[in-house]
């Protein structure tokens, strides 16, 4: 059976144990590994003695060994799980005959693979069998329910304040699925014995400093109208490997938010509530203050940023850092004038 995306999520959290196996495949190895871990946790109930793991190439060469693992009985009660990682289509040739003899009394087979085309022999085997399921796993935006589920699987019952949730989701939004999974596991481990509410300051200490975070001080100086801070802060940011184009993109993102907020017909606070990803705490206050400071002038700043970014993206030899610094200084001087209005 082929499962839809929604049905796949439900199956991973509560698998049908009357079935005998599942194929998990997709382009992101980290996402496939996370799905496999979730499924194994449900089947083996955290008991490593009820789990056997076989490499895909080994399973294809020794199908009798895989058959034996599936039929083996454990010393302890409960369903066993047999994992075949990194399977190729060659495994499907002999696997079908093995699975015809397997029942729900035997181990549950979990086969993982990378991206598989529609004509894949493995997909055809799992999608065409009444006691097997196949699920394609593709990256999607995580929500807080996903995060809470993964943290619970890792043994953490920690809860977060609204501000901390917003900070965590904003960080995850800029990461690939594998990196997101690793970060959530790290956070779960950091607050393993906590069941009370974690605030934003506590969480921040366990989050990575991204390019955006490293550039925030520079953009703050621009928005708040502090020209004297531009040069030293810019040198500090670029010494960490951030390019002039990246700086322009990050600054443009902030001014785009200011334009959106200032043009809202129902006020800044209502517009702040509609921003995605959501913003909380000090950053929310900064955006509100910056919007009031710049007002319609934010559109003029945005036009200058667009023009500078196009100039930086053009081919040819030019002093990128000097161009970016000149733009930022000009904006900071505009911000300083706005402070005295």
What confidence score (pLDDT) does residue 210 get?
52
Mean pLDDT lowest among 23-27, 42-46, 84-88, 205-209: 205-209
pLDDT band, very low/low/confident/very high, at 316 (cuts 50, 70, 90)? low
Integer Cα distance of 122 and 129 in angstroms? 11
Q: Which residue has the higher pLDDT, 190 or 312?
A: 190
Six token digits for residue 243:
């390019």
| pTM score | 0.51
User: Which two three-digit tokens encode residue 306?
Assistant: 């667009």
Percent of the chain having pLDDT more than 90? 38
226 phi-psi bin (left φ>0, alpha ψ -120 to 50, beta other): beta
Mean pLDDT along residues 191-200? 84
Kindly report, residue by residue over 282-292, the tens digit of the pLDDT: 778 888 888 88
Residue entry with tokens 């322009």: 248
Residue 20 has pLDDT above 90, yes or no: yes
225 phi-psi bin (left φ>0, alpha ψ -120 to 50, beta other): left
Which range, 64-68, 261-265, 284-288, is most confident? 64-68
pLDDT for 267 equals 82
* Separation between Cα atoms, residue 311 and residue 323, nearest integer Å: 9
pLDDT at 112 over 90: yes
- Residue 100, Cβ neighbours under 10 Å: how many? 10
Q: Does residue 340 carry a pLDDT above 60?
A: no
pLDDT confidence tier of residue 142, bands split at 50, 70 and 90: confident
pLDDT for 99: 93
pLDDT per residue over 69-102, tens digit each? Answer: 999 987 778 899 999 999 999 999 899 999 999 9
- Report the pLDDT averaged over residues 196-205: 80
pLDDT of 318 reads 62
Contacts of 181 (CB under 8 A, 6+ apart): 30, 31, 33, 34, 150
User: Exposed, middle or buried: residue 229 (CB in 10 Å: 0-12, 13-18, 19+)?
Assistant: middle
**Chain mean pLDDT for the chain:** 85
How is residue 190 written in tokens?
A: 């950091």
Contact 135, 3 (CB under 8 A): yes
A 10 A CB-CB count for 258 gives 24
Q: Which of 87, 20, 22 is nearest to 54 (CA)?
A: 87
């Amino acid at each position: 059976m082929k499962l839809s995306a929604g049905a796949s999520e439900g199956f991973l959290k509560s698998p049908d144990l009357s079935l005998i196996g599942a194929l998990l495949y997709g382009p992101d190895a980290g996402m496939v590994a996370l799905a496999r871990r979730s499924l194994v946790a449900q089947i083996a109930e955290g008991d490593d003695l009820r789990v056997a793991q076989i490499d895909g190439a080994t399973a294809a060469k020794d199908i009798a060994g895989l058959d034996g693992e599936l039929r083996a009985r454990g010393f302890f009660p409960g369903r066993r799980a047999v994992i075949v990682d990194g399977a190729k289509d060659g495994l499907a040739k002999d696997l079908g005959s093995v699975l015809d003899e397997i029942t729900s009394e035997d181990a549950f087979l979990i086969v993982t693979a990378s991206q598989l085309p529609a004509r894949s022999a493995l997909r055809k085997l799992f999608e065409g069998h009444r006691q097997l399921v196949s699920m394609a796993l593709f990256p999607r935006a995580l929500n807080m329910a996903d995060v809470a589920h993964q943290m619970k699987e890792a043994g953490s019952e920690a809860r977060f304040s609204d501000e901390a949730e917003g900070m965590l989701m904003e960080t995850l939004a800029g990461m690939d699925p594998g990196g997101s999974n690793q970060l959530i596991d790290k956070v779960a481990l950091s607050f393993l014995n906590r069941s009370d509410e974690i605030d934003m300051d506590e969480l921040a200490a366990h989050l990575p400093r991204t390019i955006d975070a490293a550039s925030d001080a520079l953009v703050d100086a621009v928005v708040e109208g502090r020209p004297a801070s531009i040069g030293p802060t810019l040198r500090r940011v670029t010494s960490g490997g951030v390019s002039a184009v990246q700086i322009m993109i990050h600054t443009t993102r902030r001014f785009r938010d200011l334009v959106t907020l200032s043009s809202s017909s129902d006020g800044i606070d209502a517009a702040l509530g509609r921003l995605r990803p959501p913003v909380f705490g000090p950053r929310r206050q900064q955006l509100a203050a910056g919007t009031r400071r710049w007002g319609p002038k934010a559109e003029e700043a945005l036009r200058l940023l667009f023009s500078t970014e196009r100039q930086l993206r053009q081919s040819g030899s030019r002093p990128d850092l000097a161009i970016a610094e000149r733009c930022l200084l000009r904006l900071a001087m505009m911000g300083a004038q706005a402070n005295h209005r």
